[in-house]
Amino acid sequence: MNNQNYTKVNSKAIDKWAEDGWEWGKPISHEEYLKAQNGQLSVVLTPLKTVPAEWFAPFLKNDRLDGAKLLGLASGGGQQMPIFAALDADCTVLDYSEKQLESEKFVSECEGYSINIIKADMTKRLPFEDGAFDLIFHPVSNCYVENVYHVWNECFRVLKKGGVLLAGMDNGFGFLFEESNPLLVVNKLPYNPLKDAELYKRCVESDGSVQFSHTIEEQVGGQLKAGFALTDLYEDTDTYSVLGEYVPLYLATRAVKP
């Protein structure tokens, strides 16, 4: 196990998933892009629930994002960024998957908008100056990162004062259970393959990725410790796991840099 290389393992895994038709790697259609151009703001941080339009205040004016400098953090795939670009946001997307970023380039070239596309590892210092962005959109993805405190600290740093962080998170419950028998508890939390050689081996052999559970203390408390003020949140589930029929599996938060 090499703590320095697990993000590269995840990058390659997501590249493969995208090639195989992964749900979160399929770019939006031209029709969906046109709906956004006409003012329809419909994006997700978690699998099912649409992010409330009021979460984009104070940047949403007359159904447009009015040039707001927006960072899609680990948000490649050609799904959310085209919507924001169609609504006149000044978009930057950062992801560590080459295939996810290829989707971003594909949609931008098809629809004729500009976007800053950056391949980088969010476990490192983000390649941006302090206060570079008005808004960060961060869908469920920090389950691929061991230290989420670093992510929140970097988000706080690169946001302007008054900037908004919208984040989707896995609440960790799903990591308790056996994948082939979703109601059988087999793992302890926190789930961290970097601290268990056998677990690491099983993870990589299963789907090629190294994932982590995180507590609410890390997820929400970590944002507060970074300096954010929490303004709203909601829970969500999914339709592709048995457990999702019984309990919420995801959390989305809206936080502001004072």
How many domains is the chain partitioned into structurally? 1
pLDDT digits (tens, 9 = 90+) for 87-107: 999 999 999 999 999 999 999
Q: Is the pLDDT of residue 16 over 80?
A: yes
Mean pLDDT of 229-233: 98
Domain that holds residue 140: 6-172+212-256
Interior CA angle at 124 toward 121 and 129, to 5°?
100
E-assigned strand segments in the chain: 69-73, 90-95, 116-119, 133-138, 159-170, 177-178, 181-185, 229-236, 250-256
76 within a domain of the structure (yes/no): yes
Mean pLDDT of 220-244: 94
Question: For position 246, what pLDDT does the model report?
Answer: 86
- Burial zone of 54 (CB within 10 Å; 0-12 exposed, 13-18 middle, 19+ buried): exposed
Question: For position 243, what pLDDT does the model report?
Answer: 82
pTM for the full model?
A: 0.96
194 within a domain of the structure (yes/no): no
223 within a domain of the structure (yes/no): yes
Please name which of 95, 191, 84 lies closest in space to residue 146, comparing C-alpha atoms.
191
Which CATH number belongs to the domain containing residue 15 in this structure?
3.40.50.150
How many other CB atoms are found less than 10 A from the CB of residue 226? 19
| H/E run at residue 193 | none
> Which amino acid does the sequence have at 41?
L
14 within a domain of the structure (yes/no): yes
Q: Give the pLDDT band (50/70/90) at residue 3.
A: low
197 within a domain of the structure (yes/no): no
Q: Is the pLDDT of residue 1 over 80?
A: no
Q: Is the pLDDT of residue 8 over 90?
A: yes
Mean pLDDT of 135-143: 98
Count the helix, strand and coil residues of the chain and give each as a percent rounded to the nearest 5: 35, 25, 40
165 within a domain of the structure (yes/no): yes
Q: Is the pLDDT of residue 65 over 60?
A: yes
117 within a domain of the structure (yes/no): yes
198 within a domain of the structure (yes/no): no
